[in-house]
Amino acid sequence: MSGNTTTDKAITIRNLVVDYGPRRILNGINLEIPNGQIMVIMGQSGAGKSTLLRCILGLKKPTSGSIHMLGTDIATASRTDIYKARKQIGVAFQGGALFSSMTVAENIQLALHEHTNLDEKTIQIMTRIKLDMVNMLEAENLMPSELSGGMAKRAALARAIIMDPKLLFFDEPSSGLDPSTAAELDQLILTLKKGMGMTIVVVTHELDSIFKIADHIAVMKDGNLIETGTPQQIIASTNPEIQGMLNRKPRETIVDTDAHLRRLTGGF
């Protein structure tokens, strides 16, 4: 399942600008995503990660700049060309985005029924292969409402890879998951990269996950790409904003309860 590649970059983004009215959301992003590797786009809420992802997926036309993805300039391509490019990509959305009226298997098969003329038996076997990859074979007949958060994410991943995409996008894979389930999902992402040769773009702010899976990291802040590099380069960065993000600590455990109560009530 590792398709041929003609260039060493799956995605090349040049001078990407997105304005919403008077607000500049992305401010001249330049980014290259190498083939067959995992690129993590990190940054806090409001950094512009989701807008960047929407632009790459062709869901948002940028104000200016270019995005070359698997040979297509997404920023200027026609709807037909964007549609063709989309057939080569898989997207696992944050909340799973499974259709609630369909079983897990039906959700996963949807693209095959829509875009191919494969025999029903082939479709069934492909579905079960993908369910097995995400360790959910036993859940094929469950409805989305019967799934835990981790299972819904894995089902969304199975749906995203059903057509063996060259490029997989994963939006916040670990958010809302307990540490052990998040670690399982990280491992699964690594396995997909190794076994299927996929280029994987993960958008997240979960530090634990980032340093487990990333080959490259792009750090965003306030619509700007403030640093790119390998995990080692990012850790060694002297940029105080990067260090601020990396050293972010959980909220302090309350030690002085009286002081905290006073802070909340104003001490009346």
Partner 1 sequence: MECNVTSESGFDLIKLSGEVDLQFSPQLREKILGCLKAGHPLLIDLAKVSYIDSSGIASLVEGFQTAKTSKLQYGLLNISSTAMQVLTLTRLDKIFDLYSSTDQFKQKLQ
CB of 118 to partner 1, least distance (A): 6
Which of residues 52 and 131 has its CB atom nearest to partner 1 in the complex?
Answer: 131
Shortest Cβ 2–partner 1 spacing (Å): 6
Query: 140 or 172, CB closer to partner 1?
Result: 140
Contact call for residues 72 and 30 (beta carbons, < 8 A): no
Q: Do residues 107 and 99 lie in contact, with contact meaning Cβ atoms separated by under 8 Å? A: yes
For partner 1, the closer of residues 71 and 195 by Cβ is: 195
Least distance in angstroms from the C-beta of 122 to partner 1: 5
Closer residue to partner 1 (CB): 115 or 263: 115
Return residues touching partner 1 (CB under 8 A): 1-4, 116-119, 121-123, 125-126, 129-130, 132-133, 162-164, 191, 194-197
Give me the sheet containing 64-69, strands edge to edge: 23-34, 9-20, 64-69, 72-73
Q: How far is the CB of 12 from partner 1 (least distance, A)?
A: 23
Measured from the CB atom, is 102 or 123 closer to partner 1?
123
DSSP string for 46-62: TSSHHHHHHHHTTSS--
Instruction: Tell me how far, at minimum, the Cβ of 164 lies from partner 1, in Å.
Output: 4
- Provide the minimum distance between the beta carbon of 187 and partner 1 in the complex, in angstroms, as a whole number: 13
For residue 9, give Cα distances in angstroms to 13, 88, 253. Answer: 10, 15, 45
Query: Is 7 in a helix, a strand, or coil?
Result: coil
Helix or strand (DSSP H, E) at 40? strand 38-42
C-beta of 179 vs 195, nearer to partner 1 = 195
Q: How far is CA 66 from CA 32, 37, 56, 251, in A?
A: 12, 21, 10, 40
User: What is the SS3 assignment for 108?
Assistant: helix
- Residue 260: CB minimum distance to partner 1, A: 51
**Cβ closest to partner 1, residue 114 vs residue 256:** 114
Q: Which helix H or strand E contains 106, and what residues bound it?
A: helix 104-115
Q: Which residue has the tokens 């490029």?
A: 167
**Bridge partners, 229 (sequence order):** 217
- The span from the CA of 102 to the CA of 21, in Å, is 39
Q: Mapping DSSP to helix (H, G, I), strand (E, B) and coil, where does residue 27 land?
A: strand
